[in-house]
Structure 1
């Protein structure tokens, strides 16, 4: 496993807390999966900004991915390949964090997300 554990930034935790309130999805990992996939759907690479690991929300890759853990890892590797990046552990970890946090920002900043059904609508648009 290339990515074993990760910690969210405080900002991402706050954004996910807002999403939890709106959608009634109370598991961090499910919201994180949506966010990660939302970012992967964008054609551009996420900006290479430093992301602090300063919240108390930490999870393993297996918890994050659940039954989709292997598929999500393959999607990350394919995206890194498509973006002309390597697939070494450091690159995968960095790109995962960038995609995850960008996706969380996109979801939290979307004024149309108020329910679980709104997540489905986003998936249908992308």
Structure 2
């Protein structure tokens, strides 16, 4: 995958700032959690809903860290399930879309660090 930097839409950028203030977690950790929330959503995210309009740009290595291979494998499987090419521009667009949508989903569910703990507990109960 050629995508080395992820640029976010304005709304996701604002929500990341608010989430960071609510939880004290770094943007990359919040993005990782959000990405997984987005993958769990049954609908396919539309990349055009998340224009690269903000100045926030994060290196992919920072976003995914040592789990880059895992994140890419999860996305490849999701793309295969959705009938989307698992390489090239379509794959990169889905990566950005899931990152942006994930931040917005996380913002809806997390008002404090305690909410994040509850979210993690729910995932464990469901075996996720």
TM-score class, shorter-chain normalisation, is 0.7 to 0.9
Q: Provide the rounded CA distance (Å) in 2 between the counterparts of 1:59 and 1:17.
A: 13
Runs of 4+ in 1 over 4 A off after TM superposition: none
Report the Cα distance in structure 2 between the residues aligned to 1:70 and 1:10, rounded to whole angstroms. 27
Distance 1:48 1:57 in 2: 17
The runs of 5 or more residues in structure 2 that have no matched partner are 124-128
Question: Does 1:114 find its partner at 2:95?
Answer: no
CA contact (8 A) 1:9 1:53 kept: yes
SS for the counterpart of 2:48 is coil
For the pair 1:47 / 2:46, whether they are aligned, the reply is yes
User: Quick one: distance in 2 between partners of 1:7 and 1:47?
Assistant: 15
Is the 1:7–1:56 contact (alpha carbons within 8 Å) kept by the matching residues of 2? yes
- The alignment's TM-score, normalised by the length of structure 1, stands at 0.86
1:1-126 mapped onto 2 (5 Å cutoff): 1-25=1-25, 27-110=26-109, 112-115=110-113, 117-126=114-123
Cα offset, 1:48, TM superposition:
4.6
User: Which has the higher mean CA deviation after the structures are superposed, 92-101 or 75-84?
Assistant: 92-101
Judge which range, 54-63 or 71-80, deviates more. 54-63
TM-score, normalised by the number of residues in structure 2: 0.85
Q: Is the 8 A contact 2:47 2:96 kept in 1?
A: no
- Which stretches in structure 1 are left out of the alignment for 5+ residues? none
User: Secondary structure of the residue that 2:46 maps to in structure 1?
Assistant: coil
**Structure number with higher helix proportion:** 2
Let me know the Cα RMSD of the aligned residues: 1.7
Q: Distance in 1 between matches of 2:2 and 2:80?
A: 15
Secondary structure at 2:96 match in 1: helix
Residues paired across the two proteins, number: 123
